[in-house]
Amino acid sequence: LGNVSADSSAPYPSDFAWGAATAAYQVEGAYNTDGRGMSIWDTFSHIPGKTANGDTGDVADDSYHRYEEDIKLAVEMGITHYRMSISWPRIMPNGKLPLNPKGVAFYNDVINTLLAHNIEPFVTLYHWDLPQALANDSAGQSEGDKLFGKGWLEASVADDFVTYAEACFLQFGDRVSNWLTFNEPLTFVNLGYGSGTHAPGRCSGCSLGGDSATEPYIAAHNVLRAHGKAVARYRQLKAMAPSMLDGKIGITLNCDWGEPFTSSKDDEEAATRFLEFQLAWYADPVFFGAYPASMVAAVGDRLPKFTAEEAAQLKGSWDFFGLNHYTSKYVKKPDYPAPLPGMGNSWYADAHTTQTDTSIDGILIGPLGDSSWLHVVPWGFRKMLNWVAERYGNPGIYVTENGCDVPNESKMSLAEALDDKFRVDFYRGYLSNMAEAMKDGVKVKGYFAWSLLDNFEWADGYSKRFGLHYVDYSDNLKRYKKSSAKWYHDYIRANSPGKSHKLRMANPNAG
Ligand code: GBH
């Protein structure tokens, strides 16, 4: 594996959060156990043709029943923090009150088990599994409307989300110090309402209905409204019960780094637009209370407007910046005027950029993982972190996801897959660039590897593996340590001057 030594001048503070991440629908399985309701991902993954090999999250890693074993893997790896998500329909089968006591009990068990092992839960409220029942509430005309309702297109879903968030704060908030409202709205909005490749499968021309010119902007708008309201509610509750709730809250946003294809002004502006259309679309409202000017100009009337009250609520609705980052692209200005000819309006056309994987000299930006979108570009991570720090006034940043899949891993023998040198190189490169960014002055407070273990990779089903641990889907879901898990363990140990993060107490009486 090569030598793992402390990144000597890496200024990891003693309370740095070293973690790994998962998400409920990707690992839990037990989709109809103990009163769990259906989510739009259950419905979507059961439609033939929507996922690779027709895979679903019905069983996934069965972490619902095997969470103790998974936490043991986390303990053995030496992480201080575990990022997990709560399944909304597991604790609210109808998307609304009342709560499902068995669902609540499950998350109490997970949280208490983590704390009993000195691992802090870092909890995402929404990692894409909208309760199907809410969708049904608003059923409309098209095939997709009937199946899914309007989901995030419906303004009232923001209020349902706040009810759900409040229930989580009250049930688990005495033991959870860090909350994330949403995971990657860019991804579930663009793929769910722009390209139709994720639930609820909508786009212009999609059989389930949709309108890629308007719906992504409407869905994003409602997600942002929901975020603003949920953060306001958390702060209200915190003020009322400071001894019970004294945590921090934020949102986690994903962004690929955009490196200008040439040093021309056109390409530099295109690269900035590329970053603004991904990250600033969400982060500007959260930090500044307004959409980026480039989007206001390009999207025009199709971009909804915040009321003065909403803008004020959104502005400052963060205690830290949550960032998911995987890869980088070269970006250039297309040689046609916006929008893309023949494509009509869409987020892609509005952004008016072209992405390429090869430089002007014909050199690949970085080795390709198993997924066609994932090139390994460690230096892009350092630039990405610096860009966030500069634009948003150097906030504390948690890198809430970073990781890769390995070319052909799913086709390898078990022994070959466990020897994942490619992934070790990925982490070595990205972590050393994160350390460089910290030396540049970026305030990184924590880092979460995606993922603790192989899991249901959305539309790619089980055909892509991002885990530090291997899950044998052909042999009773047995877990194995990959080389990368051992390497990460050694890296954490070499770079932890001493754990000093504040731990809450497990509460055996909760629930
Ligand atoms: C994350 O998304 C998710 O949060 C996590 O659940 C997931 O398991 C993990 O990454 C690994 O994928 O197929 O060309 O339409 C990462 C950001 C954005 C990467 C959407 C893939 C799809 C490109 N993702 N992108 S494409």
Q: Confirm if 307 and 236 have CB atoms less than 8 A apart.
A: no
Distance in Å, CA 23 to ligand 1 centroid: 13
Q: Is the CB of 448 under 6 A from ligand 1?
A: no
Q: What does the pLDDT read at residue 204? A: 95
Ligand 1 atom 24 nearest Cα: 187
- Residue 131 CA to residue 38 CA, distance in Å, equals 6
Q: Confirm if 329 and 356 have CB atoms less than 8 A apart.
A: yes
Which residues are catalytic, by number?
A: 184, 401
pLDDT band, residue 146 (cuts 50/70/90): confident
Place of tokens 């006591």: 101
Mean pLDDT of 66-80: 97
How many other CB atoms are found less than 10 A from the CB of residue 490?
15
Q: What is the pLDDT of residues 262-275, one digit of tens each?
A: 999 999 999 999 99
Q: Is the CB of 457 under 6 A from ligand 1?
A: yes
To which H or E segment does residue 398 belong? Answer: strand 397-401
Mean pLDDT of 419-441: 98
- Residue partners of 435: CB distance under 8 A and separation at least 6: 7, 9, 10, 11, 12
Q: Is the CB of 484 under 6 A from ligand 1?
A: no
pLDDT band, residue 149 (cuts 50/70/90): confident
* DSSP per-residue letters across 164-210: HHHHHHHHHTTT--EEEEEE-HHHHHHHHHTS-SSTT---TT-TT--
Collapsing DSSP states into helix, strand and coil, what is residue 66? helix
Ligand 1 atom with the shortest distance to the CA of 458: 8
Distance in Å, CA 179 to ligand 1 centroid: 21
The upper half-sphere exposure of residue 438, i.e. CA atoms within 13 Å in the direction of its Cβ, equals 23
Mean pLDDT of 430-452: 98
Place of tokens 């603004």: 276
CA 506 to chain CA mean position, Å:
26
Place of tokens 């991804």: 187
Look at residues 180, 189, 186, 184 and name the one whose alpha carbon lies nearest to residue 84: 180
Residue 471 scores a pLDDT above 60? yes
Please tell me which residue, 146 or 173, carries the higher pLDDT value: 173
Ligand 1 atom 23 nearest Cα: 373
Residue 511 scores a pLDDT above 90? no
Ligand 1 atom with the shortest distance to the CA of 466: 11
Distance in Å, CA 187 to ligand 1 centroid: 7
Look at residues 85, 74, 86, 108 and name the one whose alpha carbon lies nearest to residue 36: 86
| Mutational pocket test of ligand 1: of 25, 373, 400, the residue with most ligand atoms within 8 Å of the beta carbon | 373
Predicted TM-score (pTM) of the model is 0.95
Total residues belonging to the chain: 511
The per-residue pLDDT of the chain, averaged, comes to 94
Residue 107 scores a pLDDT above 50? yes
Place of tokens 């994903």: 254
Tokens of 176: 């959870």
pLDDT band, residue 144 (cuts 50/70/90): confident
ipTM of the complex: 0.96
To which H or E segment does residue 481 belong? Answer: strand 478-481
Q: Is the CB of 487 under 6 A from ligand 1?
A: no
Mean pLDDT of 138-147: 74
pLDDT band, residue 467 (cuts 50/70/90): very high
Distance in Å, CA 194 to ligand 1 centroid: 14
What percent of the chain stands above pLDDT 90? 89
Q: Is the CB of 145 under 6 A from ligand 1?
A: no
Q: What is the pLDDT of residues 488-505, one digit of tens each?
A: 999 999 998 655 544 456
Tokens of 199: 């639930």
Q: Is the CB of 255 under 6 A from ligand 1?
A: no
Q: What does the pLDDT read at residue 1? A: 47
Please tell me which residue, 74 or 149, carries the higher pLDDT value: 74
Query: What does each C-alpha distance from 213 to 140, 218, 291, 296 come to in angstroms?
Result: 19, 10, 17, 14
Q: 351 — phi, psi (to 5°)?
A: -65, -30
